[in-house]
Chains A and B, each alone.
Chain A
């Protein structure tokens, strides 16, 4: 057996982000091991999306470190970061498909940028679209798709260029329970087939338990608790219990924004 310790694929150290006087992230620490699927849960406005956008370089944090495979991405130049993005996949909440491009052009967008031929890129796009259960839609425009189809096309675009790390922003939000289950199964299959490292954020606890190995609760700007997803129902942490049980009152409310919620309830 190798004596070398396995490095986390994603390491976040002391990450802070403020917007004007509002502290959204305050000293966030998080490790995600290679091949692990982690889901961050937390209240609306707790900073989950900000955290994922900081990792992707879409928002510049005020301080801290973001290490991917041991390399601090906050020290990279824009062009270097763009090159690293070839290893990344991201599924946006609203799928974020490009309106002016057809479905197959959307799916193979990253491949076309890597100088792969149009014919080959189209074949790969159709292959991935079939993998997500969509047939004969490659020439449609995004405006012609339903919400569930758009999300699956978004998923196809996310994985078409075979990324090492995939991020999911609310993968099942706005979908009916059946379509949510379809998306969850596709994510689980992707994880099993490719062993990709995954980081998701969601409010959907059923989805979180299904698609992830570990669950982290982001609360008061910090990662308050991390547990294996199998312990979600049994863990006795008061904040996690309040979130899982969906109670309006509890320790989460004793925060700067939680107090306002409590006041609103008592009014």
Chain B
């Protein structure tokens, strides 16, 4: 019993420390955004790495998700003779839920891991200490551009993913399942609202903040050489993915209540 209590206590302590670290990193970074220097070159470089370089994986994920959704929805709706609703279900699912979540998970795996590994390596090789001794604030120089880049790029990636996913569903429905294109488009556009679209973008922005803060905090506070960098990278990906899935429920409950 005592062992169980001790283990629970240690786990709770570790959780509180990590949540505190994330909160401190977030507030410290946001506080710095109000004053110069903003390191715009670093921001553009990060935006390119986060946004442009994530495009292939995001586009592929969205395309095949849209295609699978169309197939699955059609099979179910066929039983009720409601095949014409396939387009609406594909679009709504992608725009409201799967677009932001799947893009979030992909970016967490690609970008969150890269943030943690880069900053972790800089920490263990004393490059972050070197920045400080060269009169440069490491949080402003390293974390701020990454956080802004991922927060801005996530909604843009989701917009692209939404369109490609919807097109994937359209292509399968029209060319494979022989549905009528004009009925498909009409049903899709008639019942969708603008709020379905932008709530997905709000989610994407929020997931971007989570990925940026978790990846950067894990890397920035990394300890213990190469093994420490590995641990930080794994933690960044796992914690980011879990946070995205958990926060998605609460965001959905809040926005569509």
Residues of A within 8 A of B (CB): 53, 56-58, 78-79, 82-83, 85-86, 88-90, 92-94, 96-99, 109-110, 113-114, 157, 161, 167
Contacts and interface: CB of A to CB of B under 8 A. Distances in A.
Interface in B102-161: 121-122, 125-127, 129-137
Interface string B179-198: 00000000000000000000
A56 B130 contact: no
B139 to A, nearest CB: 9
A78 B137 contact: yes
A113 B134 contact: yes
A96 B132 contact: no
Given A94-B125, A94-B126, A96-B126, A56 B136 contact: no
B134 A58 contact: no
Contact of B135 (A53, A85, A97, A157): A85
Interface residues of B, number: 15
A92 B124 CA distance: 12
Given A58-B132, A96-B129, A113-B134, 9 more contacts: A56-B129, A57-B132, A79-B137, A90-B129, A90-B133, A97-B130, A110-B134, A113-B136, A161-B134
B129 A53 contact: yes
Contacts of A94: 125-126
A90 B130 contact: yes
Nearest to B141: A113
Nearest to B42: A100
A116 B37 CA distance: 14
Contact of A89 (B126, B129, B133): B133
B126 A92 contact: yes
A110 B135 contact: yes
A86 B134 CA distance: 7
Nearest to A160: B134
Given A93-B126, A96-B126, A109 B137 contact: no
Contacts of B130: 90, 92, 96-98
Contacts of A93: 126
A66 to B, nearest CB: 15
A98 B137 contact: no
A94 B137 CA distance: 21
